[in-house]
């Protein structure tokens, strides 16, 4: 038996509170006061600040919680962290609140980690599973990678806010969750072939999240409150699964490697979740799954299914597909150790109708 087959222990940290439903933002002050939080630094970007600052400020003020908003354009994670990490209010803040999308949440986690503060997640778009996970996605010189950072103390998922997000972000969240179908297959394959640790419970939970929202694809495509709530609950559950597994493995496999490679090749042409959805179509074919069903459900959710719909040409997509296995060479997937040749990548993209020629 290889040493990798036995994980002696891994730390599982979970949010103390997850509150989901309509007008949750009005309960933030009450819940934070109950948890002993007395002052917060709120990191956000221009749009969520203009739309939601008044409600959040009212909720915090009514409970006597001190707060300050910091608004940024979020060009890069590094610049924003450097700009905000020396802010004077950090000295008295009990927690860092991230109010916004993926970059806002990630930067807030990083500052909370750096300053040993609690982190509060208030997502305004349901585009990714990072809203409840301890992971952050970071740029490096030649790739994009994820690492563990700060588990949220609390997650406030206001479905009234989230259901009004632009369709592209809702469809992106759908694509991110659907990726779990191939991610768990990759994880199991790595366990069988390399002896990597594999957690059956975490894998089944991740798969269950994807199976659940497949049934809601039309509602998600229509932005119905029921559909968006199901999506939000799945995204939160996926974040919890990552904490349970002690790894992103149950939620990130070859489909995510493709998305990261595409960002490298084409400089972030689309949202992460839409790229993952397209990757899932192709990786499900390699795993001998029903890739047509996955494609049809992505279409019902108004998510991308072709190179054109994620803003890249056929050459860029094929190149990214051939480079995907090299993004994280230590992570074994259906792409193998060396990855696909250009010819094999082109054939895969054609047969799954991701490209035409």
The domain ranges of the chain are: 17-162, 167-351
CB atoms within 10 A of CB 177: 32
pTM here? 0.92
Provide mean pLDDT across the span 236-254: 95
Angle formed by the axes of helices 180-194 and 167-178, nearest 10°: 30
Q: Comparing 357 with 221, which gets the higher pLDDT?
A: 221
- Residue 249 in this model has a pLDDT that exceeds 90: yes
In this predicted structure, what is the pLDDT of residue 325? 96
Sheet containing strand 154-158, strands side by side: 17-21, 154-158, 118-123, 95-100, 39-45, 66-72
> Domain 167-351: what homologous superfamily?
Dehydroquinate synthase-like - alpha domain (1.20.1090.10)
Q: Each residue of 15-60: pLDDT tens digit? A: 999 999 999 999 999 999 999 999 999 999 999 999 999 999 999 9
Work out the percent of the chain whose per-residue pLDDT is above 90.
81
In this predicted structure, what is the pLDDT of residue 149? 87
- Residue 303 in this model has a pLDDT that exceeds 80: yes
In this predicted structure, what is the pLDDT of residue 89? 83
Is CATH 3.40.50.1970 the classification given to domain 17-162? yes
Q: Each residue of 196-243: pLDDT tens digit? A: 999 999 999 999 999 999 999 999 999 998 999 999 999 999 999 999
In this predicted structure, what is the pLDDT of residue 318? 98
- Residue 137 in this model has a pLDDT that exceeds 50: yes
Least confident range of 135-139, 143-147, 290-294, 315-319: 143-147
Length, in residues, of the chain: 357
Question: In which band, very low, low, confident or very high, does the pLDDT at 77 lie, cut at 50, 70 and 90?
Answer: low
């Amino acid at each position: 038996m290889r040493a990798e087959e036995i994980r002696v222990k891994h730390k599982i940290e979970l949010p103390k509170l997850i509150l989901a439903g309509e007008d949750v933002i009005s309960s933030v002050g009450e819940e934070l006061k109950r948890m002993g939080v007395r002052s917060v630094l709120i990191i956000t970007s221009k749009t969520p600040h203009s739309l939601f600052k008044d409600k959040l400020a009212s909720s915090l003020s009514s409970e006597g919680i001190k707060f300050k908003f910091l608004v940024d354009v979020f060009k890069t994670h590094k610049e924003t962290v450097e700009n905000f990490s020396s802010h004077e209010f950090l000295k008295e803040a009990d927690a860092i609140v991230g109010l916004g999308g993926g970059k806002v949440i990630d930067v807030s986690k990083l500052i909370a980690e750096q300053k040993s503060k609690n982190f509060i997640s208030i997502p305004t778009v349901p585009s990714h599973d990072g809203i409840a996970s301890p992971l952050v996605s970071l740029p490096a010189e030649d790739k994009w990678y994820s690492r563990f950072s700060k588990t949220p103390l609390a997650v406030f998922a206001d479905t009234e806010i989230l259901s009004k997000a632009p369709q592209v972000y809702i469809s992106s969240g759908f694509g991110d969750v659907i990726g779990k179908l191939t991610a768990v297959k990759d994880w199991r394959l790595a366990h069988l072939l390399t002896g990597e640790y594999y957690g059956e419970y975490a894998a089944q939970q991740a798969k269950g999240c994807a199976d659940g929202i497949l049934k809601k694809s039309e509602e998600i495509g229509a932005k119905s409150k029921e559909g968006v709530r199901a999506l939000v609950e799945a995204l939160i559950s996926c974040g919890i699964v990552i904490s349970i597994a002690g790894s992103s493995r149950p939620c990130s496999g070859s489909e995510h490697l493709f998305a990261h490679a595409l960002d490298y090749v084409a400089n972030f042409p689309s949202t992460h979740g839409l790229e993952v959805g397209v990757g899932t179509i192709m990786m499900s074919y390699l795993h001998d799954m029903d890739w047509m069903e996955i494609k049809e459900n992505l279409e019902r959710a108004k998510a991308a299914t072709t190179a054109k719909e994620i803003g890249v040409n056929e050459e860029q997509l094929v190149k990214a597909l051939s480079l995907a296995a090299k993004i994280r060479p230590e992570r074994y997937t259906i792409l193998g150790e060396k990855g696909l040749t250009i010819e094999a990548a082109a054939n895969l993209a054609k047969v799954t109708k991701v490209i035409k020629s």
